[in-house]
Chains A and B, each alone.
Chain A
Amino acid sequence: MKLAYWMYAGPAHIGTLRIASSFKNVHAIMHAPLGDDYFNVMRSMLERERDFTPVTASVVDRNVLARGSQEKVVDNITRKDQEEHPDLIILTPTCTSSILQEDLQNFCERAQLEAKGDVMLADVNHYRVNELQAGDRTLQQVVQFYLEKAKKKGDLPTEKTAQPSVNIIGISTLGFHNHHDCTELKRLMADLGITVNAVIPEGASVHELKNLPRAWFNLVPYRELGMMTADYLKTEFDMPYIDITPMGVVETARCLRAIQALLNEKGANVDYEDYINEQTLHVSQAAWFSRSIDCQNLTGKKAVVYGDNTHAAALTKILSREMGIHVVWAGTFCKYDADWFREQVSGYCDEVLITDDHTVVGDAIAKAEPSAIFGTQMERHVGKRLDIPCGVISAPIHIQNFPIGYKPFLGYEGTNQIVDLIYNSFTLGMEDHLLEIFGGHDTKDVITKTLSADSDMTWSKDGLTELNRIPGFVRGKVKRNTEKFARDRNIEVITAEVLYAAKEAVGA
């Protein structure tokens, strides 16, 4: 048993359902008790989805428990098959119903006898993997199912497309800015003269999956979703894949060069250098921003980064390499893939934090006292309490991660969006100076009710007056530092002198 307050990744069935409901005309049946079907709420509310979520709960209640679920599950599958004629029905249990250890594979086989569409059991262990791993696995399972089916029927196209082409693997519903990333990737591929053969799973039909091997290569933009599928396609169909996330100017270029090398190897004879150069220097504003006077003021500022593997690694590289910001630590909650993360961020941050415990993350932030946090909604919340700004760069998703406007993280437009996010997260450059020079314009702020308000330190009147003169946005930090200083020296009442002594001691 584990005392848990917060989860960075959802349970396995959420991953499976994300894949199922991303495909076109695929329905999922959840074998689960009442209330376990909140996936439908998440999809409808967070994505503001206009269509009914194609997920039906086959409800397990007392009666079903007593009698066994087979009849009900099989009925619900065949009923859905008749009502909506889906191409595929995916059956999944949840953590709860998987304990019943029923032969769900057998239920599927029985339902398949009657159903016109295909019926499949999502094969994941609900106690050993999380949402991300389960999604990765389910996508691979669906792809394998349809490729093997086509192979058996002998209608697997073997010819590659005439022009260079790509499958974009890993765009899914309830993914972090996935839709905008997908649009951006399609534009990027069009610019490079590469045809998009397929995007999976979002919006794809399972009948088109047999065409996947026609593409020249696969692109897996996110580390969390699609790697298993890409590995499968490499092993079975000798399809190469690129798994460099095109996030940030440098990594986007690296991704494009890898594609260039791959295509040239296949005899395409492409040269993307001019394109990369033009985009980097003149189209994207990110490289120019790095050179601009605004960014100069960010030099050496301290930041911490935390999120899923893809986004935390990419942001760490951007902050450190492209903006000269000092990343004190970078962390991920993808514990199952920690080695990859370590390798990616090594050299770009002082320390690496691998944990999915939000209190450990919170403490690490408090200890580092960075000028800005780049994390998940949870870190944004921690930042609010500590009065440190936070830019949200990673799932777990929140309604704010489904902006109406175009906000990709990938590609060259993504570089612009990320610059905005980073820059606006820090207290702005000139404002910073002016506040320092003129002592701030919000001197009437109350200074109690900060994080350390429960401390036993007393501030003398003149100490308090001085503290109030310090600009609001650093006041909390100065207060904490001064109190730490006073506590270390057993000073009970903090006067103006103590405040200045502390300031000198920390060299601020």
Chain B
Amino acid sequence: MTLANAQPQALQFDCETGNYHTFCPISCVAWLYQKIEDSFFLVIGTKTCGYFLQNAMGVMIFAEPRYAMAELEEGDISAQLNDYEELKRLCMQIKRDRNPSVIVWIGTCTTEIIKMDLEGMAPKLESEVGIPIVVARANGLDYAFTQGEDTVLASMLIRCPDKAPETDKEDRNAIHKLLNFGRKQEDVKAEASEYVDHPPLILFGSLPDPVVTQLTLELKRQGIKVSGWLPTKRYTELPVIEEGYYAVGVNPFLSRTATTFMRRRKCKLIGAPFPIGPDGTRAWVEKICSVFGIEPQGLEEREQQIWANLEDYLQLIRGKSVFFMGDNLLEISLARFLIRCGMTCPEIGIPYMDKRYQAAELALLEQTCHEMNVPLPRIIEKPDNYNQLQRINELKPDLVITGMAHANPLEARGINTKWSVEFTFAQIHGFSNARDILELVTRPLRRNNNLKDLGWDKLVKEEAKI
């Protein structure tokens, strides 16, 4: 008898009520305004939105705020005030106070419901104010949590220049000159020859700068040159994107941006698993190589070496089970990596599943499950948190990756948890950061090892009425 007989042969997808908790997509402001250093994010919404941002982002950042709320008041809602004039007044003030290179308007549920025509107003206002205005509809009616970044990047992508103007080219070269300052011409040429000749490649997804460098170098090892990243550190340095360029994403929640690359910029999208975990990173690099007809060098050894370095952590999680309640859309990639680490995963909750954009990742998940000889997880789109809690109570998984609302109550019932939001902010991409993922995943298990003799498992009185 083999285990395989009992397994469903293909991934099973379900959809529940959608009564689940996740962060509002406007939270993308929290990391994007830090990533794009010359930007100003203006969230156009209500007190409810503002209080969320304040509570999600904490007090720390108020020294030099580069985001603000345009708080809609009763007069705005009842259309007694002129939206255009009001926004103009605020944008003028922002220009005066902060003088950013770009103002990003973040539309919210409220602007959707009152049908405020942000896209219609922006072009006229931007010529009056003299600062580019990018409009992104990061509302909770259509999107969840990390998809907020997707809406911003998709809008920003439209603003990327389609041809480098001659003078501008000079400027860009100037930066290169600066970088190459003091180096011999031959060295510069030699560097150019390190790259294989291939069509320009654009990477998209907002990552911390060190990770950007790591992934860029990872591709350079294969002779692949990254022509540009979206987003850039400065809005004024958005990459040139011409028709026929290739694009590849680094995060699973960027399906709208991916579509925009194909439809609006006529680029070719490389559908690859995401560079999360050594297995995913290898598959990602391999896929890019295969598109450019490059034979990857030393990838297998590199992956093996990373796995070998993870062994101390792997011992802690092998054979244990992990349950994803669903929050940031990184769930499939993380589950795939953790299954490869030797864990089992009964359920992957996910807010939204774009089966086309995530096709390569889903295929790798399936393949991983077969190779590791474990059952395929059930994938639940738009989960129902109440139902999930019942299932958790039944399955008693060793670890639940969950949003912040459920972590403490689950811990009080003896269930180990890790906040999903930590994976959103931690550096998890690429080969060397796999250790950081496991550092997070194993923390509750290591904590338990420290406390195990104390008998402090259940900290609620009656048997949990979840």
A, B from the same assembly: yes
Q: Which residues of A contact B (CB under 8 A)?
A: 1-7, 10-14, 32-38, 40-42, 44-45, 48-53, 56-62, 65, 76, 83-84, 94-96, 99-100, 126-128, 130, 358, 377-378, 380-381, 385, 398
Contact B19 A58 (CB under 8 A): yes
Contact A44 B69 (CB under 8 A): no
For A11, the chain B residues whose CB sits under 8 A away are 46-48, 50-51
Verify if B406 is at the interface (C-beta below 8 Å from A): yes
Contact A3 B409 (CB under 8 A): no
Residue of B nearest to A382 (CB): B62
Tell me which residues from 441 to 463 in chain B have a Cβ below 8 Å from any Cβ of chain A: 459-460
Interchain residue pairs with CB less than 8 A apart (14): A1-B76, A1-B81, A1-B89, A1-B90, A4-B68, A5-B62, A14-B51, A34-B22, A34-B143, A38-B55, A50-B460, A57-B21, A59-B20, A99-B77
Task: Report if A1-B86 is in contact (Cβ < 8 Å); known contacts: A33-B139, A38-B56.
Answer: yes
Task: Report if A2-B70 is in contact (Cβ < 8 Å); known contacts: A35-B23, A35-B140.
Answer: yes
Verify if B59 is at the interface (C-beta below 8 Å from A): yes
For A32, the chain B residues whose CB sits under 8 A away are 48
Contact A96 B48 (CB under 8 A): yes
Contact B24 A34 (CB under 8 A): yes
Verify if B108 is at the interface (C-beta below 8 Å from A): yes
- Knowing that A34-B143, A95-B47 are A-B contacts, what are 15 other residue pairs whose CB atoms are under 8 Å apart, sorted by A's residue number? A1-B89, A5-B68, A10-B47, A11-B48, A11-B50, A34-B141, A35-B26, A35-B52, A49-B408, A50-B459, A51-B460, A52-B406, A127-B73, A380-B59, A398-B59
Task: Report if A84-B465 is in contact (Cβ < 8 Å); known contacts: A50-B408, A52-B409, A56-B386.
Answer: yes
Residue of A nearest to B460 (CB): A50
For A57, the chain B residues whose CB sits under 8 A away are 19, 21
Verify if B71 is at the interface (C-beta below 8 Å from A): yes
Verify if B362 is at the interface (C-beta below 8 Å from A): no
Contact B466 A52 (CB under 8 A): yes
Task: Report if A35-B409 is in contact (Cβ < 8 Å); known contacts: A11-B51, A96-B108, A99-B77.
Answer: no
Q: Which of B48, B65, B142 contacts A36 (CB 8 A)?
A: B48
Q: Which residues of B contact A (CB under 8 A)?
A: 18-27, 44-52, 54-56, 59-60, 62-63, 65, 68-74, 76-77, 81, 86-87, 89-90, 93-94, 108-110, 113-114, 139-145, 351, 386, 389, 403-409, 412, 459-460, 465-466
Contact B466 A381 (CB under 8 A): no
Contact A76 B19 (CB under 8 A): yes
Task: Report if A99-B24 is in contact (Cβ < 8 Å); known contacts: A5-B69, A51-B409.
Answer: no
Contact A7 B460 (CB under 8 A): no
For A44, the chain B residues whose CB sits under 8 A away are 404-409
For B62, the chain A residues whose CB sits under 8 A away are 5-6, 358, 378, 381
Within the assembled complex, what's the spacing in Å between the Cα atoms of A59 and B140?
A: 9
Contact A61 B141 (CB under 8 A): yes
- Cβ of A11 to closest chain B Cβ, rounded Å: 4
Contact B23 A100 (CB under 8 A): no
Task: Report if A56-B19 is in contact (Cβ < 8 Å); known contacts: A3-B93, A44-B409, A50-B409.
Answer: yes
Q: Which of A33, A37, A76, A126 contacts B141 (CB 8 A)?
A: A33
Contact B59 A33 (CB under 8 A): no
Residue of B nearest to A35 (CB): B24
- Cβ of B30 to closest chain A Cβ, rounded Å: 13
- Cβ of A1 to closest chain B Cβ, rounded Å: 4
Contact B19 A5 (CB under 8 A): no
Contact B18 A99 (CB under 8 A): no
- Cβ of B309 to closest chain A Cβ, rounded Å: 34
For B46, the chain A residues whose CB sits under 8 A away are 11, 94-96, 126
Q: Which of A34, A95, A130, A378 gathers most chain B CB within 10 Å?
A: A34
- Cβ of B37 to closest chain A Cβ, rounded Å: 18
9 nearest A-B residue pairs (beta carbon): A35-B24, A95-B46, A33-B140, A40-B405, A50-B412, A11-B47, A1-B86, A34-B140, A35-B140
For B54, the chain A residues whose CB sits under 8 A away are 6-7
Residue of A nearest to B461 (CB): A50
Within the assembled complex, what's the spacing in Å between the Cα atoms of A1 and B116?
A: 13
- Cβ of B144 to closest chain A Cβ, rounded Å: 6
Contact A35 B144 (CB under 8 A): yes
Residue of B nearest to A50 (CB): B412
Contact A59 B19 (CB under 8 A): yes
Residue of A nearest to B90 (CB): A3
For B109, the chain A residues whose CB sits under 8 A away are 33, 36, 60, 96
Within the assembled complex, what's the spacing in Å between the Cα atoms of A378 and B63?
A: 11
Task: Report if A3-B68 is in contact (Cβ < 8 Å); known contacts: A35-B23, A59-B19, A99-B114.
Answer: yes
Contact A99 B113 (CB under 8 A): yes
Residue of A nearest to B138 (CB): A35
For B93, the chain A residues whose CB sits under 8 A away are 3
- Cβ of A239 to closest chain B Cβ, rounded Å: 34
Residue of A nearest to B43 (CB): A4
- Cβ of B364 to closest chain A Cβ, rounded Å: 28
Q: Which of A2, A5, A99 contacts B65 (CB 8 A)?
A: A5
Within the assembled complex, what's the spacing in Å between the Cα atoms of A58 and B86?
A: 32
- Cβ of A360 to closest chain B Cβ, rounded Å: 14
Residue of A nearest to B408 (CB): A44
Within the assembled complex, what's the spacing in Å between the Cα atoms of A38 and B56?
A: 9
- Cβ of B458 to closest chain A Cβ, rounded Å: 10
For B50, the chain A residues whose CB sits under 8 A away are 4, 7, 11
Residue of B nearest to A397 (CB): B55
